[in-house]
Structure 1
Amino acid sequence: MSWLTDHVRPKLRSLLQREVPDNLWTNCESCSQMLLIKELERNKKVCPHCGHHMRATAKERLAWTFDEGQYTTIDLPKVPVDPLHFRDSKRYTDRLKASRTKAGLDESLVVAHGKISGRDAVVAVMAFEFFAGTMGSALGEAFLAACRLAVLQKAPLIIFTASGGARMQEGVISLMQMPRTVIGIQVLREAGLPYIVVFTNPTTGGVSASFAMLGDIHVAEPNALIAFAGPRVIRDTVREELPEGFQRSEYLKDHGMIDTISARKDLPALLGRLIAMLTPQQQDDTPSKTDA
């Protein structure tokens, strides 16, 4: 028995049991179904069972939005790293360093330009993976750079919002980015250029109270949280039960704050149609196949 126990049984177990990598599967946050990660990525991080739209990185959104995933990012203006020398349980500079390492980004906004449905467009994407997409002075400068690039290229500006709001480590400097971004939008308006906002989950705080709510067209992904203060804070303040789906995309569309809701797979085509309608002069300026 010792031979069978010590040698044969372990051999059989090793043949029958295969090691499964930890990063092969994940669970849907909404329906808890187990999902193959590669299949989920092919489906643009949308659950095939319940349609739940999971969070996506800034780089993924850029690749999904531009034609054939081809785009060019721009270098963004540099700002003072820690203007208030802020420290809580950690130094602000240490938190920034950790976020940059984790996200592979310099800040919470990425700006790129390329083609959408064959037409020029400037796209800014807020990166929730960087410091929860919070708005500091660097984001304000990046947003203004996106506005200037759109004016230079005579192209529409599209922004994907995803944010926890103003960055408390920068105090009033963060709050000052609210009027600064509004000025950037005014520059677009004076140039006659469209400004399209795509709300993703979540969009909250000072971002929703400034440039996120000033689009010419408001598009949202399904069931995205779009709010200034979250529903728990409001419920505790007013001491009343809130309507079902309060502050979600569908509720806001029914109440006139969102123009349309689009599934992630349909977004590039929708944005292409909006650009075509809002910038018909681009079609006149684009060489036709017969002219080439």
Structure 2
Amino acid sequence: MSWFRREKAGISTATEHKKEAPDGLWNKCPSCKKPLLNIEQIENKYVCQYCGYHLRIGSAAYFSILFDDNQFTELFANLKSGDPLHFEDTKKYTARLEESYAKTGLNDAIRCAHGKVEGRDLVVACMDFTFIGGSMGSVVGEKIARSIDYCLQHRTPFMLISKSGGARMMEAAFSLMQMAKTSAKLALLNEAKLPYICLLTDPTTGGVTASYAMLGDINIAEPGALIGFAGPRVIKETIKKDLPKGFQTSEFLLEHGFLDFIVDRRQLKQQVALFLSMVS
């Protein structure tokens, strides 16, 4: 009888030889809750293979998806935020910045790079939500402005990938000034007849939505992305009315004319290359 003892059958591994799965090997889809193998996520452009949910990714992943052979030249990489207002709430702004540098390995909430997309030159500025919620501060505005100047100098199209919680409150008016600054620079890009592509990802909110994120020659978004200015709760409390179902999703905005189309991340590179071939 084997009720009270283990019968030796098949493969048996001694306890001291058993190993835990490495961190980051698996994670769970936030939408369907199914387990996702990391290597499969990379191959599938970080889109859930079961439900099509687009996981949040940063600039490194977007650059690898867009640029040929992941080859690019990063622009203005050394710019870092100052503390012009000496902001201090529960924590000093400088301390918050130092924590973000250490945690993310980034110098601010945006990275800019020049590379080729199916053989065509393109400058891409991509926001990183992991750096203080992708908030728009002086460095974000300055890097966008300098990227546009670079495009003007080299006659290169410009693409901006937005992923942001809005203006960086620790920089107050300095942050809000970036809305006008970047919009004015984009006007120069328009006068030069150089294409500007906007990609809105989850989430794109606040002053970013109210400025450069919606000024593209072509405005596209990823499926299911949250896009808006104020949050749904704030809007509901202001207008005292219930909001439509799916309010502030990319699908709702497409239906109401705020977007040109929605693109699956797995077809993003091909769609961007097709647009560049049409306008160049």
- TM-score, normalised to structure 1's length? 0.88
Deviation at 1:76, TM superposition (A): 4.8
Counterpart-to-counterpart distance in 2, 1:92 and 1:158: 30
Contact 1:140 1:177 in 2 (8 A): yes
Contact 2:80 2:108 in 1 (8 A): no
Identical aligned pairs, as a percentage? Answer: 45
Counterpart-to-counterpart distance in 2, 1:106 and 1:202: 21
Counterpart-to-counterpart distance in 2, 1:61 and 1:101: 21
Alignment of 1:276-291 (within 5 A): 276-279=277-280
Q: What whole-Å deviation, never above 9, does each CA across 1:111-151 have from its counterpart, x for those lacking one? A: 10011121111111011111111001111110101101111
Deviation at 1:14, TM superposition (A): 1.9
3-state secondary structure, aligned to 2:144: helix
Q: What whole-Å deviation, never above 9, does each CA across 1:23-65 have from its counterpart, x for those lacking one? A: 3221110111111122112211111110000100111101111
Contact 1:77 1:145 in 2 (8 A): no
Matched to 1:161, the amino acid is S
Contact 1:208 1:227 in 2 (8 A): yes
Please name the residue that 1:286 is paired with: none
Contact 2:162 2:200 in 1 (8 A): yes
Matched to 1:93, the amino acid is T
Matched to 1:267, the amino acid is L
Please name the residue that 1:159 is paired with: 160
3-state secondary structure, aligned to 1:121: strand
Q: What whole-Å deviation, never above 9, does each CA across 1:171-230 have from its counterpart, x for those lacking one? A: 111011110001110110111101110011000000000111111100100010110011
More helix by share: 1
Counterpart-to-counterpart distance in 1, 2:148 and 2:31: 36
Please name the residue that 1:271 is paired with: 272
Corresponding position: 1:211 with 2:244: no
Deviation at 1:233, TM superposition (A): 1.7
Please name the residue that 2:111 is paired with: 110
Matched to 1:42, the amino acid is E
Please name the residue that 1:245 is paired with: 246
Please name the residue that 2:94 is paired with: 93
Matched to 1:61, the amino acid is Y
Deviation at 1:108, TM superposition (A): 0.9
Alignment of 1:1-292 (within 5 A): 14=15, 18-76=19-77, 78=79, 81-279=82-280
User: In 2 relative to 1, CA 122–14 (structure 1 residues): closer, same or farther, beyond 3 Å?
Assistant: same
Contact 1:76 1:141 in 2 (8 A): no
Matched to 1:137, the amino acid is S
Deviation at 1:232, TM superposition (A): 2.0
Decide which moves more: 32-41 or 74-83.
74-83
Alpha carbon RMSD of aligned pairs, Å? Answer: 2.0
User: In 2 relative to 1, CA 209–37 (structure 1 residues): closer, same or farther, beyond 3 Å?
Assistant: same
Deviation at 1:19, TM superposition (A): 2.7
3-state secondary structure, aligned to 2:129: coil
| Unaligned 5+ runs, structure 2 | none
Matched to 1:38, the amino acid is I
Counterpart-to-counterpart distance in 2, 1:249 and 1:177: 24
Please name the residue that 1:287 is paired with: none
3-state secondary structure, aligned to 2:259: coil
Decide which moves more: 171-180 or 235-244.
235-244
Contact 2:111 2:126 in 1 (8 A): yes
Counterpart-to-counterpart distance in 2, 1:17 and 1:67: 41
Contact 1:77 1:138 in 2 (8 A): no
Counterpart-to-counterpart distance in 2, 1:121 and 1:203: 22
User: In 2 relative to 1, CA 100–79 (structure 1 residues): closer, same or farther, beyond 3 Å?
Assistant: closer
Matched to 1:133, the amino acid is G
3-state secondary structure, aligned to 1:128: coil
Counterpart-to-counterpart distance in 2, 1:216 and 1:259: 10
User: In 2 relative to 1, CA 67–12 (structure 1 residues): closer, same or farther, beyond 3 Å?
Assistant: closer
Counterpart-to-counterpart distance in 1, 2:18 and 2:108: 44
Counterpart-to-counterpart distance in 2, 1:101 and 1:59: 17
Counterpart-to-counterpart distance in 2, 1:79 and 1:57: 18
The count of residues paired between Structure 1 and Structure 2 equals: 272
Counterpart-to-counterpart distance in 2, 1:45 and 1:26: 11
User: In 2 relative to 1, CA 273–17 (structure 1 residues): closer, same or farther, beyond 3 Å?
Assistant: same
Contact 1:77 1:141 in 2 (8 A): no
- TM-score, normalised to structure 2's length? 0.92
